[in-house]
Amino acid sequence: MATGLPAGHPAIATPKVGVLLLNLGTPDGTDYWSVRRYLSEFLSDPRVIESPPWLWQPILQGVVLSTRPQKSGANYARIWDKDANESPLRVITRKQATKLQERLGKNIIVDFAMRYGNPSTKSGIEALQAAGCQKILLAPLYPQYSATTTATANDKAFDALKTLRWQPAVRTLPAYFDEPAYIEALAQSIADGVAALDFTPDVILTSYHGMPVQYFEAGDPYHCQCLKTTRLVREHLGWSEDKLKVTFQSRFGPTKWLEPYTDATLMALPAEGIKRVAVVAPAFSVDCIETLEEIAITGREQFEHAGGERYAYIPCLNDSELGMGMLESVIRKELAGWV
Distance, in Å, from the CA atom of 202 to the CA atom of 310, rounded to the nearest integer, reads: 10
Distance, in Å, from the CA atom of 278 to the CA atom of 199, rounded to the nearest integer, reads: 10
Of the pair 109, 284, the CB lying nearest ligand L6N33NVT is at: 284
89, with CB counted inside 10 A (0-12, 13-18, 19+), is buried
223 is in an annotated binding site: no
Binders of Fe ion in range 205-234 (CB under 5 A): 223-224
Q: How far is the CB of 80 from ligand L6N33NVT (least distance, A)?
A: 10
Distance, in Å, from the CA atom of 266 to the CA atom of 268, rounded to the nearest integer, reads: 6
Task: Give the x-and-dash track for 65-94 against Fe ion (CB under 5 A).
Answer: ------------------------------
149, 152, 247, 262: residue in contact with ligand L6N33NVT (rule CB under 6 A)? 149
Q: Considering CB distances under 5 to 8 angstroms, the limit depending on partner class, which of ligand L6N33NVT, Fe ion, none binds residue 239?
A: none
Q: In what order do the strands lie in the sheet with 244-249?
A: 244-249, 203-209, 276-280, 310-314
Binding flag, residue 207, ligand L6N33NVT (CB under 6 A): no
234, with CB counted inside 10 A (0-12, 13-18, 19+), is buried
Beta strands in 131-237 (DSSP E): 133-140, 169-172, 203-209
Q: How far is the CB of 60 from ligand L6N33NVT (least distance, A)?
A: 11
Binding flag, residue 261, ligand L6N33NVT (CB under 6 A): no
Binding flag, residue 153, ligand L6N33NVT (CB under 6 A): no
Distance, in Å, from the CA atom of 233 to the CA atom of 27, rounded to the nearest integer, reads: 33
Of 146, 159, 149, residue with least CA distance to 120: 159
209 is in an annotated binding site: yes
Helix (H, G, I), strand (E, B) or coil at 266: helix
Q: How far is the CB of 334 from ligand L6N33NVT (least distance, A)?
A: 20
> Residue 112 belongs to what H/E stretch?
strand 108-116
Q: Considering CB distances under 5 to 8 angstroms, the limit depending on partner class, which of Fe ion, ligand L6N33NVT, none binds residue 233?
A: none
233, 283, 317, 330: residue in contact with ligand L6N33NVT (rule CB under 6 A)? 283
User: Which stretches of the chain bind ligand L6N33NVT, using CB under 6 A?
Assistant: 24, 26, 39, 48-49, 68, 72, 75, 87, 89, 142, 146, 148-149, 209, 211, 222, 250, 252, 283-284, 288-290
User: Which stretches of the chain bind Fe ion, using CB under 5 A?
Assistant: 223-224
